[in-house]
Structure 1
């Protein structure tokens, strides 16, 4: 089975065709792949400087929480190269740029709420001069006591939004009546986005009092709205352009906007172009991360390990403002079940306010933090009962009939979890390897191995209903080439490639004849962010809708022009076949387009799509927030050193459900990357603040993302075959961006399995994340003590 999977992976990559039809279901390399490798891809910072262009920097707060008593900026204004200095008093329009709820001033008001918060902004003739000038400010503060931990926030009831609860059945009664009861807690660390391209925007004034913004943003329409609001101008005066980002991962969904707004405010004052870019250390200090969480549970279960009742509380560290935290903690609550049926369940979410930078969207959007608790529960139950954790996971999986209703009362339809996990269990030789690992651990006292198979069930849709819509624009030119524009943004994930393939499939033409242009707010308006794994689902459907409109227009024209039935106009292989078999006329696609143009047929169309079926009533905490679920599973095998806590991922096997894949090579690449990023979150990527609220892990030397050496040598990734999405998505595909991120949980669980072997699997180790070697060593020492206590007893 393993060799077959390797062949499948190799064939997926080797099937890349260039050029060629490259339509839906075929591997096609990323549309900018060559430019990425050669360095020709143009990012915002690569754009040629405009005439008179200035550079911006911000003055930063030196306290996590303080009242501003005075601010002397005279030295800043007199510094070399400085052309303008602004404070919040210079903002002509709105001063609060909170994306959903208020709480995010574009520049500090009377009080600062995190260390590094922008106080003022400087425009100078160079980036370095602007940064140096910003350091010359003389600010007098009255220091206030900050709230820096979740526990402190909970004790003080310090929240950015009110707590919220989802409930199904009576968890308290079910736990009380259960034969076995366990409780536990886990600290789940945050994560720096560490995109290769940092936050950057350029603002260029236009002749009509507006602004053109070039922004590295996942949400150009939000940038447009907020820039218009701070400048106090109509939205139609602002155009935002995003050709590509050098990575986003959620960090540019809302948090690209402040830097665009500051650039625009300075550009408006100077009436010159202004570029605002953050250095790496400033980017890490001034932008939000994945929310750290501190979660706890109480669970009741029977002798088989089946959960009868559970109470889960997730406590998100939101930072100083709401940002997207309400929806992120909601998503953590939605995914607190992961792949398991919770008959009687209460899930509560707290949105804790702390005096750190405001945490924000990150791949999975709270879902991973929610899943961690239930996966810990599975391991804890297994150790309590002396069973294999996989057995406990399988017995609690969503099934059929009554065992398919979530704690938010959505039915889990078209469930393939059993099939997927059984297939992976066999193809990865899980049971045989489990026995081999047990024998290895009996024979070795210093090195220990661990293995874990963990599933993922991830809901696809924005949980905020109105965001589930998209638009597109398609032009056909008279030479038969096609121009495509849509509201999705390209951050390296291959969205532009996939949507071009969808349009190519509709017209049955070479994908290389389709040009996709930069995402622009003046082409497709009111767009949703490229997030929630919905980029292809939404924008692909909108582009398909535009293509279908144009195709029908062409079919109707050809049928009338050649006096045939519409059914006798067939698009195939870059050609159009017209008429019955006898006397059939065949012409090139471009030839039909030229003929249509000469006969005054419109060759341009917009397209639109909104996701059906979804709804959620927050008052009752019931509904269908997700259009469908994307599932997957991973088996990870690790080796740990019990003397140092160091570890190595030896092998990973992944089987993932993408429905009918639009582009297998891109999908496999997304799965590989997501798994490694998820592993990094749970193992090496450690955020550290001191007791004053200063971020200490603020550069690549103090923050460790996974390197190629951290990837397993034996890395097997396969797509679940012959299982198209049962919902009416674009060509029955499924989203692939976020769901595989949580496959990295299998690495953490495998490390715990290795640690548990130290006490002969009788005790479930406590292992907070990230599971750095230090934490693994401490967990090993706890197990050694537990083993001694048991032998002494």
Structure 2
């Protein structure tokens, strides 16, 4: 699509085209319980089931592993160890060969899979796994990122430095200077469907794998490596996932590889699905960060220099920690121009599960750091943080270059914030809250307006490509297959809407089929908020190829100019003649017109040189802002979110209903990350928050009492994306930082707003209460 492509309004003459608010294509199935997931599929006769045997220590040499009793247990058909992997015992997504399918010789985190039991039933395999006799030599372990730095642990991958100007000189000459640090906690994905894979052996070296994965092509490659066969022998299918959030970008590799190895060894279908506890113990989380910053600023609150380090708990292997910690630096500026800046990542190894992608991919941790800096300056100067934000927004020439040297050319954050500030009555409410806090001895209230600028594209440039396969059948029905995966976010619905609009037919004419490596090869992960941008463009490309053939056929058959052929409202208009779409397609088939096409798209303009820390890693930016109001009980630290107002930019929305749902869901999930979802490892390196009983995701009762979400309907992507839309999956995840800062304001009222409370995240009631008590002590001492 070039810059001249018209932007279509919703077309009332077709049902379900682009820009129309339409329900998710499987919503009714989700509600009724009719949407089949892998564990709902009819199993082939003789399907076997797997269970994993896990390490009992966070760091230990495996002296011996006696599995005789496991093999002899009732119902056991096979026991696998790392020695039984026929190909390469490695599933590292970055090729660093640091993540075994099954560990051998050394266990590097508590719960690391050491062996797999394949049994006639899942229960038989589970019971047999408990019979293993493993001897360990326990070694020192580290599970905390700061402790890892102090102990001299290595980094799991190369760090990144972003630099523009001279941060040291800028700090030295600044009017004011502050230093601080904060911890930002991790987060479990807590998807409804746990990891699962089912492998069905085929002839020769072939195997078909059904996997709950966001990255079918990567699963294909990892299974082929583990089996020691070519990728063309492995087919991976994904119809839907019960949630992913990044946790199924790489973490499904292990389960798929084990199922496939067992299936080929036994020539029987094999399914493996851990229970919730094991799933949470075995699989990676959002990275928790320790952020240290040194900031120079002036009397107006304008930032002149920033020197910051972002250290992350990465776990025992690299996984995606390099790209995640890189991305934290890309977003450490958020909406703010730093005159002189140096940002450094530290992806630290720890004896914990290898952390991985999670919605925002490091970006949220970077944005939290930027907003804490703003908050610190505001309290130092006795100003409303919103004033400091506005003073530091990216602006015109001279204040429009990021720390990675990309120019911010589509900046609309000032308007977004201005509109939200007015529509939410922010200033009036803030004054009311200040007055309330003067009179209220126990309950204190807070309000905060925070913005977000989020870059869209994979920073690994080669991932910014997609394919799609479109067939038009003789009866006019259309088959759609693309490389993206559906995890509840509505990707399939949006791509089908685009295809319906391209052909100008009703949405119900489109059949969306399971993602499979056998139809669309070399797919990128459905991640980085790029699923619709990439796959809808590929589908539109396929449709245009077919339409060009149809136009040429109609022009020749009816002796008219190609310009006289139009697709409109389930018809094809050829000069003065109007034919139903299905009837015209039948004619085209009889005329031997090819009615199938493979579409392709690659994102233009982007480039990135990691060595120099310069380039244009993002095609465009998505913007948004949120105002959150909270009430805090200063005697207990408990709080509630009273009201939230959101204004978010999705360009020209392809489906406003789905986009608003994504904003709402991202906000609540991000609020959970920052307030209630706490991961905790004990002194033996064991994850103790590994079930709903010990890990608190937001409940319905935790949602904002008043929740106003609006899309910026005046916004339009200046880049020629699919119908000028913008990505929506990750950018709104940062909006609930406003909740954290509203809590901070309520706490700061204890000492008359003279100090930044410096709340670590998650701001659990315990942490809030401790912050209140610290300020009470400080106020008393003063």
**TM-score strictly above 0.5:** yes
Partner residue in 2 for 1:132: 127
Q: Where does 1:17-36 land on structure 2 (aligned, <5 Å)? A: 21-36=15-30
Deviations 1:297-322 (A, max 9, x none): 01010000000111110001100000
Q: Secondary structure at the match of 2:160?
A: strand
* Distance change (3 Å), C-alpha of 1:435 and 1:220: same
Whole-Å separation in 1 of the counterparts to 2:373 and 2:530: 30
Check whether the contact 2:159–2:322 (CA below 8 A) recurs between aligned residues. Answer: no
Partner residue in 1 for 2:142: 147
Partner residue in 2 for 1:207: 203
Whole-Å separation in 2 of the counterparts to 1:745 and 1:555: 52
Partner residue in 2 for 1:59: 53
Deviation of 1:208 after TM superposition, in Å, equals 2.6
Check whether the contact 1:108–1:119 (CA below 8 A) recurs between aligned residues. Answer: yes
Q: Indicate yes or no: 2:102 matched with 1:107.
A: yes
Deviations 1:363-391 (A, max 9, x none): 00000011111111111100000000000
Whole-Å separation in 2 of the counterparts to 1:387 and 1:613: 40
Deviations 1:609-652 (A, max 9, x none): 00111111111110000000001000000000000000000000
Deviation of 1:209 after TM superposition, in Å, equals 2.3
Partner residue in 2 for 1:265: 261
Deviations 1:484-532 (A, max 9, x none): 0000000000000000000001111101110110000000000000000
Deviation of 1:196 after TM superposition, in Å, equals 0.1
Partner residue in 2 for 1:389: 385
Q: Indicate yes or no: 2:65 matched with 1:90.
A: no
Check whether the contact 1:17–1:27 (CA below 8 A) recurs between aligned residues. Answer: no
Whole-Å separation in 1 of the counterparts to 2:729 and 2:159: 29
Q: Indicate yes or no: 2:344 matched with 1:348.
A: yes
Q: Secondary structure at the match of 2:331?
A: helix
Deviation of 1:17 after TM superposition, in Å, equals 11
Whole-Å separation in 1 of the counterparts to 2:287 and 2:761: 13
Whole-Å separation in 2 of the counterparts to 1:58 and 1:268: 18
Q: State how many pairs are aligned.
A: 772
Runs of 4+ in structure 1 deviating by more than 6 angstroms, as ranges, are 15-19
Q: Indicate yes or no: 2:293 matched with 1:301.
A: no
Deviation of 1:121 after TM superposition, in Å, equals 0.8
Deviation of 1:16 after TM superposition, in Å, equals 12
Partner residue in 1 for 2:112: 117
Partner residue in 1 for 2:4: none
Aligned equivalent of 1:731, options 710, 720, 723: 723
Whole-Å separation in 1 of the counterparts to 2:445 and 2:30: 39
Deviations 1:400-421 (A, max 9, x none): 1110100000001111000110
Q: Where does 1:299-448 land on structure 2 (aligned, <5 Å)? A: 299-448=295-444
Deviations 1:670-705 (A, max 9, x none): 000000000000000000100111000010010000
Return 251-260 or 203-212, whichever deviates more. Answer: 203-212
Check whether the contact 1:16–1:28 (CA below 8 A) recurs between aligned residues. Answer: no
Q: Indicate yes or no: 2:178 matched with 1:186.
A: no
Check whether the contact 2:649–2:726 (CA below 8 A) recurs between aligned residues. Answer: yes
Deviation of 1:278 after TM superposition, in Å, equals 0.9
Deviation of 1:157 after TM superposition, in Å, equals 4.2
Partner residue in 2 for 1:10: none
- Structure 2, unaligned runs of 5 or more: 1-8
Q: Where does 1:472-491 land on structure 2 (aligned, <5 Å)? A: 472-491=468-487
Partner residue in 2 for 1:578: 574
Q: Secondary structure at the match of 2:36?
A: coil
Whole-Å separation in 1 of the counterparts to 2:762 and 2:33: 34
Whole-Å separation in 2 of the counterparts to 1:615 and 1:788: 55
Whole-Å separation in 2 of the counterparts to 1:549 and 1:395: 49
Deviation of 1:20 after TM superposition, in Å, equals 5.2
Deviations 1:276-304 (A, max 9, x none): 10100000000000001011101010000
Whole-Å separation in 2 of the counterparts to 1:183 and 1:554: 66
Q: Secondary structure at the match of 2:260?
A: helix
Check whether the contact 1:318–1:358 (CA below 8 A) recurs between aligned residues. Answer: yes
Q: Indicate yes or no: 2:774 matched with 1:782.
A: yes
- Structure 1, unaligned runs of 5 or more: 1-14
* Distance change (3 Å), C-alpha of 1:514 and 1:733: same
Give the alignment's Cα RMSD to 1 decimal.
1.2
Check whether the contact 2:14–2:504 (CA below 8 A) recurs between aligned residues. Answer: no
Whole-Å separation in 2 of the counterparts to 1:522 and 1:469: 17
Q: Secondary structure at the match of 2:115?
A: strand
Q: Where does 1:460-479 land on structure 2 (aligned, <5 Å)? A: 460-479=456-475
Check whether the contact 1:96–1:104 (CA below 8 A) recurs between aligned residues. Answer: yes
Q: Secondary structure at the match of 1:161?
A: coil
Deviation of 1:343 after TM superposition, in Å, equals 1.0
Q: Normalization by structure 1: what TM-score?
A: 0.96
